[in-house]
Structure 1
Amino acid sequence: MNYMLTADVGGTKIATALLNEAGVIYAQKTLPSRTESAETMYEQLLLAFQYVLNEAGVREKEVQFIGVGLPGKVDIMKGMAIYQNNLPWRDFPLVSRLQNNFPTAEIMIDNDVYMAAKGEWLAHQLQNELMAFVTISTGISACFIQKGEVIRGAGMAGEIGLTYVGRDEKETLEEKASGTSLTKKCVNRLNLQSKDAVIQLMDRFVQGDPLAQEIVTQMTQDIAKGLHQIFCVLDPDIIVLGGGVVNHQPWLLDLIKKELKKLVVNPVQSGIEKRLRVSKLKAEAGLFGAAIAANAMK
């Protein structure tokens, strides 16, 4: 039987899974990231892989394919983690290192948002459409897929979080509406502790707290501005919203649709808000996307 290892690597945790070629999950494990050094981070990834292999009773030499998604800039041809803002890897030869531990496996790495987008593409049963996957989490980023192929540009396509949306020309979408931004506002304006601040913010919004409603409404307005830019430039058939902020509060979709509709000034864009969707795979989008990437190497 062909086994696949997948990993979704982030600055706070490493999620791993062992699947067969049909996509059936045999084991899953999530460990905290160890960002003290490049080596501790790599060893933690290996440990997470070892957990799922041991649970399923599978040996390293039985693994045929490995797919890993990680943040930041990735050179998929050289198999290198070029730069990750929240990880200690700089020009780290991830594929060659993994090859030493799994000599019989074919290995694919890619940007984590790109990996998650591949998972959502399959989950939404798309074929010839143009899809944008936008993740709203610690940061904000996007991936564009047309007819099953990722649009990469010169290598960093999809950094929608870097676009300017505020009155101050230096205010980016990520600085205004990411989970990190919301946490800072919760601490500074609502006097909340940073741990679980966004969840508490959303609870207060639902309860009708005026300040919480102001913060969340501003966030949805800024997200809508970023999405409107995507519609103006690429006119995708569908935009899928994912990431922790939306995954845990799917009701935000209706608020964002409402704000997006307000931005339409030309009738040719009428109804674009109806093309918004929420993630179907939620937190497992990256793992399934990595499995798709690994499976494509067969």
Structure 2
Amino acid sequence: MKKFLFCFSLFLTGCGTTPYSDDYAEHTNTLTNGFIPETELTLAFIDENVDLRGVYNQNDTVDSTQMLYVDAVGGSAGAAGLIGQLIAHSFIIDSQRDEKLQAQQMEANQAISVLYGMTANLTLSGLVQDPNANLIPFELAKDETVRIKPIFFSDREFNRPYLTAIIWVPSNETGHNGKPLVKYRNLIQVHGDILTDDKIERLKNSDQALMVEILSALLNKTIAVVEKEMTGHYSVEDKNPQTYFIESNSRKKVVRGVIVEETCQDRVIKDLRSWVIVVPSQSLCTS
């Protein structure tokens, strides 16, 4: 009995570690041959809104919630009653975690509120510069069309904006839980250059032209990376993973993976989760 309750409590703890945000995706790929032929590739934004969010410390731990488990084993409720109490306690913790993350996100958004006035009337398609991009309107999307949800991020210092895009190809099948499956799903993250003090000051003074320039550069680079990823250009075969350090907002972010493309400006890394991460060359080091 004790062993069962211990295992059950571990199960509840594991449930609480599931990511809640929509800027996360586990890699899935069941496409034929693992990619889409270039002649068949189409992309579509799921909507035209420019989604801009503040960066916050995603510490979702909550203070200990005191709960007395009544009649744990010997009482009339027995094991079933205890399990019910454990589930209720888990839901309380999850609710507190959600509330904390929501409060942190709202605070981070408030810190960059000056930027929202410059994005209110922008559309994603309006930021796209490449007329040859394989983009089509969402209402024309086909079964094999790659759906894209871009999310722009900025910290309160405005010194390094970046973009996280969730991309997927839907499937006509559903899982055992009734939820729709996907043929492909992944996360693309594009880091921009560290902004100069002059550019940061211009953003604080609501320089919309600069804002459009920054967002457009991130989005167009993302589209180019999505096109290469979906057509099988980023192979990791015969390459040994290395540890890379990314200079990000005065901190170093550790990434373990392989470089799948190098340009004069950027390095493209596919990490161990198969996420594709684009980093300015000067912001990347191996020690």
TM-score interval for Structure 1 and Structure 2 normalised by the shorter chain: under 0.3
- Larger CA Rg, structure 1 vs 2: 2
With normalisation by structure 2, the TM-score equals: 0.25
